């Protein structure tokens, strides 16, 4: 047996993953445990969960693999700082790198671990998390994010159990940084709220698209560079856009302020820019590798609208994006890369025996814990032998339902394990869930979870999309059937659902379809604005109490705000 602990640490979205003989057994994101969204805390709680789930101790591990090369950021950043005569940045980076090395020593002390610690590059981990999780034997591999190890993008090729990086884009040339800078300018939180910009973009128009195009230069070799005269993100601290940008576009939007036509048009323009840059790089990668499949990872790979265009226009037959594509997924990627490239040193075969069919690698909660949480809530509740049927009844009656079942999904998007659900046939549900339940911006779209066999009936160009990473056009004749999950531009970021990977959620949607004729439910993550996805039944019930949810179905228990006659706290 070869057991590997992969860790993403020393940055945001820290996480851990335990893999045994090339198969992930458990993965945890630290934010779920400590309730600090995009946390930078070392993933001690996630590590504890993963080891317990796998039934392992640290002494059982063949390697601990961190998705970071100590010193690489420093060396590349120092070179860039010297070139651009910025000793302040050099000194700041030296401090950060020194702190990372201290933290690694602290890790050994904290866990009394004396075994092998190895390192995998940030983008190597991203690439591995995509290719080795995919079902493809050969694929082009593209990573796009803000940066890691002083790289923002890599272009590679995966073949069998090997990955090769063919080309790379170094910071400060970064599509992710450009998108984050505009996210900040539009009054949202950079490195966290980029999805809001993607959701706002269709409400804008193309009037500023030509003005933003020069911000990123598309090179003949398929790479790109950023015109840094528009930005200041390449310097330590302060606002990420330059005075030149402010002179052209005015003052940044105040967070929570009203959204102007300028703001909407800038969102449209930066989304268009991201898609154009992604297409440019992906098309060249298709030509260079001759591969018919594409794997994507990195924070920018969570842009499902861009991904949909890559599928349609970049020349690939299939596109795979694993659900934890941002930095949290590097815990998985570090373990995968080490298994395939280095495990022979500890007796591992390095063979590919696994591909990611589902994302349910997180925590589960026994019924007894759910019942205790229900008792503490103080509301009447009931036990059910058919949670899927109960939820379908509630949804068909127009209720908004919290759904907490089985092992949690990994990644930022709920996939039917920790979800808030509603009826997609009612257009008003979009505002009800946004404003009264999630308490978030009015323009945010919702995803449809659809039975896989019905996908082509509702969506143009449908392909199976289990991780909600691709956007599709809703068929025109279906837009009035499922208006609550059809965005203003006629698109939808769907999730395909089928029996083998989530039988209970499949039964819920089948039951809803039997009652309504529509094999689709509105799905959004079970959390309120600014929170991580719920982790414990107590978290789920707290959100139920504080929001406009009508009911929660947690394990085999149901609680409603307006409880039916005769219900009450019951024992199993």
Catalytic (active-site) positions: 12
Q: Beta strands of 478-548 (E only): which ranges? A: 491-492, 495-497, 520-525
Q: Give CA–CA dist 343/21, Å, rounded.
A: 9
Q: Give CA–CA dist 260/204, Å, rounded.
A: 10
Contact status, residue 307 vs residue 494, Cβ threshold 8 Å: no
Burial of 331 (0-12, 13-18, 19+ CB in 10 A): buried
**β pairing state of 557-560 and 491-492:** unpaired
Q: Give CA–CA dist 95/244, Å, rounded.
A: 30
β partners of residue 18: 5, 26
Q: What is the DSSP letter of 533?
A: P
In order of 254, 332, 417, 560, the CA distances from 502 in angstroms are: 42, 21, 9, 24
> Helix (H, G, I), strand (E, B), or coil: what is residue 273?
helix
Single out the residue of 28, 35, 24 nearest to residue 9, CA to CA. 28
Q: Give CA–CA dist 438/440, Å, rounded.
A: 5
Q: What is the DSSP letter of 312?
A: H
Q: Give CA–CA dist 108/497, Å, rounded.
A: 42
Single out the residue of 234, 8, 170 nearest to residue 100, CA to CA. 8
Which residues contact residue 366 at a Cβ distance below 8 angstroms, ignoring those fewer than 6 apart?
Answer: none
H helices of 440-502, in order, are: 455-458
Which residues contact residue 324 at a Cβ distance below 8 angstroms, ignoring those fewer than 6 apart?
Answer: 15, 27, 29, 129, 332, 359, 410, 411, 412
Contact status, residue 495 vs residue 447, Cβ threshold 8 Å: yes
Two tokens, residue 159: 């073949």
Q: Give CA–CA dist 367/369, Å, rounded.
A: 5
Report the Cα 38 to chain-centroid distance in Å.
Answer: 11
Two tokens, residue 361: 């690698």
Rg of the chain on CA atoms, in Å = 23
Two tokens, residue 69: 């090369």
Single out the residue of 404, 477, 395, 471 nearest to residue 432, CA to CA. 395
Two tokens, residue 90: 């050099």
Q: Give CA–CA dist 213/280, Å, rounded.
A: 13
In order of 11, 30, 410, 526, the CA distances from 356 in angstroms are: 25, 21, 12, 23
């Amino acid at each position: 047996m070869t057991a590997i602990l992969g860790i993403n640490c020393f940055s945001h979205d820290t996480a851990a993953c335990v893999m045994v003989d090339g198969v992930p057994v458990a993965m945890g994101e630290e934010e779920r445990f400590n309730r600090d969204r995009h946390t930078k805390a070392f993933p001690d709680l996630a590590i504890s969960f993963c080891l317990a789930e796998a039934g392992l101790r640290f002494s059982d591990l063949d390697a601990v693999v961190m998705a970071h090369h100590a010193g690489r950021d420093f060396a590349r950043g120092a070179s860039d700082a010297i070139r651009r005569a910025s000793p302040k940045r050099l000194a700041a980076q030296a401090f950060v790198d020194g702190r990372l090395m201290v933290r690694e020593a602290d890790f050994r002390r904290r866990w009394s671990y004396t075994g092998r610690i190895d390192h995998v590059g940030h983008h190597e981990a991203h690439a591995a998390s995509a290719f080795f999780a995919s079902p493809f034997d050969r694929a082009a591999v593209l990573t796009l994010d803000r940066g890691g190890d002083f790289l923002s993008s890599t272009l590679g090729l995966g073949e069998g159990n090997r990955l090769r990086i063919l080309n790379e884009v170094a910071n400060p040339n970064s599509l992710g940084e450009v998108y984050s800078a505009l996210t900040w300018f539009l009054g949202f939180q950079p490195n966290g709220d980029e999805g809001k910009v993607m959701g706002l973009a269709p409400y804008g128009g193309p009037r500023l698209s030509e003005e933003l195009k020069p911000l990123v230069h598309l090179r003949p070799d398929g790479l790109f560079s950023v015109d840094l005269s528009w930005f200041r993100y390449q310097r330590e601290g302060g606002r990420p856009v330059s005075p030149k940008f402010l002179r052209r576009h005015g003052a940044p939007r105040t967070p929570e302020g009203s959204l102007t036509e300028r703001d909407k048009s800038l969102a449209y323009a930066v989304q268009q820019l991201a898609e154009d840059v992604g297409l440019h790089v992906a098309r060249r990668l298709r030509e260079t590798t001759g591969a018919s499949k594409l794997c994507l990872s990195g924070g920018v790979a969570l842009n499902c609208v861009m991904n949909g265009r890559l599928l349609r226009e970049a020349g690939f037959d299939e596109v795979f994006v694993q659900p934890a594509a941002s930095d949290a997924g590097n815990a998985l990627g570090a373990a995968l890369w080490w298994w395939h490239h280095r495990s022979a040193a500890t007796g591992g075969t390095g063979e590919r025996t696994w591909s990611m069919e589902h994302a349910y690698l997180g925590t589960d909660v026994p019924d007894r814990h759910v019942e205790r949480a229900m008792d503490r809530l103080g509301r009447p509740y009931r036990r059910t032998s058919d949670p899927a049927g109960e939820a379908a009844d509630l949804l068909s009656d127009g209720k908004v339902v919290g759904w907490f079942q089985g092992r949690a999904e990994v990644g930022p998007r709920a996939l039917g394990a920790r979800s808030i659900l509603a009826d997609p046939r009612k257009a008003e549900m979009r505002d009800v869930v946004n404003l009264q339940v999630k308490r978030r911006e009015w323009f945010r779209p919702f995803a449809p979870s659809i039975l896989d066999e019905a996908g082509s009936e509702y969506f143009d160009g449908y392909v199976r999309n289990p991780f909600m990473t691709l956007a599709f056009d809703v068929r025109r004749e279906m837009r009035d059937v499922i208006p609550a999950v059809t965005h203003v531009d006629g698109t939808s970021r769907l999730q395909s659902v089928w029996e083998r990977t989530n039988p209970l959620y499949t039964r819920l949607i089948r039951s809803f379809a039997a009652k309504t004729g529509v094999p689709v439910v509105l799905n959004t993550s079970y959390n309120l604005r600014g929170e991580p996805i719920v982790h414990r039944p107590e978290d789920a019930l707290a959100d139920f109490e504080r929001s406009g949810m009508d009911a929660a179905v947690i394990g085999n228990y149901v609680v409603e705000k307006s409880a039916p006659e005769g219900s009450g706290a019951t024992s199993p």
